[in-house]
Amino acid sequence: MAFAELLEQVGSLGRFQIFQIFSLVFPIVFLTSHNLLENFTAAIPPHRCRVPLLDNATAPANVTGSLEPEALLRAFIPLDKYQKPEKCRRFLHPQWQLLELNMLDPNASEAGTESCLDGWVYDHSNFTSSIVSEWDMVCDWLFLKPMTQSIYMAGIMIGALIYGPMSDRFGRRLVLSCCYLQLAISGTCAAFAPNFSLYCSFRFLSAFAVAGILMNTGTLLMEWTRTQARARVMTINALGFSFGQALLSGVAYAIRDWSILQLTMSVPFFLFFLSSWWLAESARWLIIMGKTDRGLHALRKVAGFNGKKDARDTLTTEIVLATMQEDLTAAKAQHSMVDLFRTPELRKRFGCMLFLWFTFGFTFYGLALDMQSLGSNIFLLQVLFGAIDIPNKMGAFFAMNRLGRRVTQAGSFLLAGLCILVNTVVPQELQTLRVTLAVLGIGFVGSAFTTATVYSSELFPTVLRMTAMGGCQMLARLGSSLGPLVRLLGQVSPLLPLFVYGGVPVLAGLTALLLPETLSLPLPDTIHDVESRVKGAEPEQSPVKSTPF
């Protein structure tokens, strides 16, 4: 924890930190698009069976006659219950009698039908192309669409498990730069994928990189910022996701071709990869890992950038070693995720945070997928989600600084759960109220996410911070994969999914109360820092318990 003293000497919130915030948060805006990209690239356009006699450019005139193709469709495509052409069936034989105006054939519903053996015709009025129309992911193949999202979530989950320990071993900036490059290459390749299998493979690799970027961005911001400003900086980072949703909506509105949209949101990461090399590696991590010379160089670089010339000229290896001698001694041992379970306090913290991150992914994605039932324009809906997210995250920032991390974390989950549970007793007729409660529920889940990004970084020591964050990210993606499946419980009871979506956040809110408060406390660097902080509180409490007065 002595690193905070060194950070204050070189500047803990100066020009360097401001420039770093811009350099790290700007890519987050584009990163958000990859998480939500398939809302547009995998959009399902209106479609019907292809009819060779009508849809071929060389259709004979004696078939079409003077009738428009839309009118002729009645003879080839049956109508659904909404009097629209069926999407997945066609007549075995043309029903010419249906072409007579205002004529209803009582035997038409009994006419033989078959699947779309010649493919489909798509309406390109909203999207000129999507992966759905590209590879005919409709009707019997409709299951391929959710599969792409599941593969993407699995990529983030595994990436978090791999890149967390790698960052603790090889450094935050190095892994971050590699992830920028990986996302740029895999995202670009996905835009040119010739088949569905390769597309899914490249999306998996993109998700793998997304996990590394998410974790290392937050950790670099935290480890280069003073204690009092951590919540502010991480709130700005979280707002990058909100602005990213609005950006994606605008770009998708202008670009209706899935491959061009995919390419547009991937190419900027080549620039982010090049610009990332100016970023300073975490001096806290360098020193803890025994790379004192490189840590000193990074501190001097920051001191010069912040205008602290005296600190830049006077800071020496001896001063650094003397300041962090105790932490360096404790950090000599090699660490792995197993160490998060060795001591009582770390075990409790890690277990609680795993559940909190799981709850975020489970609840957010479970509810967000149902938001499409609002029936709004998909582009406008995406903008509104981003706009609603901003005040919620700002509210979480003020609450964290006034009420503390623990209360804000618990309160956000509890309020989210209560909003969802109240919806179980609101009648279906009060649709406006139901929508309002659902949006508020998602908003409070967003507040919980903002708090969790700050809280989880403050709970774990430097030597295990990225490893712990990797585990948390993995559980969040597991939750996001399982959340939508709860909708299947609606077949048992329509209210059962809401009880689950509301009950899990309530349990998470109560679980958050088991964690210690970290407001205004310096980041722990070693396992000893975590355990001694808890033990240090015991002598202050014991006299109160043992006093006879």
- Tell me which of 184 and 224 has the higher pLDDT: 184
pLDDT band at residue 180 using 50, 70 and 90 as cut-offs: very high
* The pLDDT of residue 460: 87
Full 3-state SS string of 21-43: HHHHHHHHHHHHHHHHCHHHHCC
DSSP string over 339-384:
GGGTSHHHHHHHHHHHHHHHHHHHHHHHHHGGGGGG---HHHHHHH
The residues, any chain, with a CB within 8 Å of residue 65's CB and separated by 6 or more, are none
Question: Which is it for strands 89-91 and 47-49: parallel, antiparallel or unpaired?
Answer: unpaired
Would you give the end-to-end CA distance of the chain in angstroms? 37
pLDDT band at residue 544 using 50, 70 and 90 as cut-offs: very low
pLDDT band at residue 65 using 50, 70 and 90 as cut-offs: low
Asked whether 52 and 127 are in contact (CB, 8 A), the reply is no
Q: Residues of the chain with pLDDT > 90: what percent?
A: 19
Residue 512 has pLDDT above 70, yes or no: yes
**pTM of this structure:** 0.74
User: Which among 369, 345, 389, 287 is positioned nearest to 29, based on CA atoms?
Assistant: 389
Query: Which tokens sit at 165?
Result: 């320990």
Residue 549 has pLDDT above 60, yes or no: no
Measured distance CA(31)–CA(444) in Å, rounded: 22
Asked whether 524 and 461 are in contact (CB, 8 A), the reply is yes
Q: How many other CB atoms are there within 10 angstroms of residue 347's CB atom?
A: 13
Write out the H or E segment, with its range, that includes residue 304: helix 292-305
Asked whether 25 and 240 are in contact (CB, 8 A), the reply is yes
Classify residue 166 as left (phi > 0), alpha (psi -120 to 50) or beta. Answer: alpha
Give me the torsion for CA of 288, 291, 295, 297, rounded to 10°. Answer: 170
* The pLDDT of residue 17: 83
The residues, any chain, with a CB within 8 Å of residue 222's CB and separated by 6 or more, are 230, 233, 234, 454, 457, 458, 523
- Tell me which of 510 and 304 has the higher pLDDT: 510
Tell me what the mean pLDDT of segment 482-492 comes to.
73
Tell me what the mean pLDDT of segment 319-337 comes to.
69
User: Which among 230, 188, 218 is positioned nearest to 206, based on CA atoms?
Assistant: 188
Domain ranges, ordered by start, for the chain:
3-43+141-534, 47-122
- Tell me which of 486 and 213 has the higher pLDDT: 213
* The pLDDT of residue 548: 36
Residue 541 has pLDDT above 50, yes or no: no
User: Which among 10, 4, 71 is positioned nearest to 304, based on CA atoms?
Assistant: 10
- Tell me which of 540 and 40 has the higher pLDDT: 40
Sign of torsion, CA 374 375 381 387? negative
Query: Which tokens sit at 4?
Result: 């905070």
Query: Which tokens sit at 251?
Result: 């770009």
pLDDT one-digit tens code per residue, 224-235: 887 777 778 888
Measured distance CA(172)–CA(357) in Å, rounded: 21
Q: What is the mean pLDDT of the chain?
A: 80
pLDDT one-digit tens code per residue, 392-401: 888 888 898 8
Measured distance CA(48)–CA(52) in Å, rounded: 12
Asked whether 477 and 164 are in contact (CB, 8 A), the reply is no
Full 3-state SS string of 474-538: HHHHHHHHHHHHHHHHHHCCCCHHHHHHHHHHHHHHHHHCCCCCCCCCCCCCCHHHHHHHHHHHH
Full 3-state SS string of 389-416: HHHHHHHHHHHHHHHCHHHHHHHHHHHH
- Tell me which of 356 and 319 has the higher pLDDT: 356
Asked whether 322 and 30 are in contact (CB, 8 A), the reply is no
pLDDT one-digit tens code per residue, 195-251: 999 999 999 999 889 988 988 888 888 888 877 777 788 888 888 888 888 888 888
Asked whether 311 and 303 are in contact (CB, 8 A), the reply is yes
* The pLDDT of residue 89: 77
Residue 543 has pLDDT above 50, yes or no: no
Q: What are phi and psi of 134, to 5 degrees?
A: -65, -45
Residue 453 has pLDDT above 80, yes or no: yes
* The pLDDT of residue 266: 93
Residue 190 has pLDDT above 70, yes or no: yes
Measured distance CA(545)–CA(536) in Å, rounded: 16
CATH T-level fold of 3-43+141-534: Growth Hormone; Chain: A; (1.20.1250)
* The pLDDT of residue 192: 93
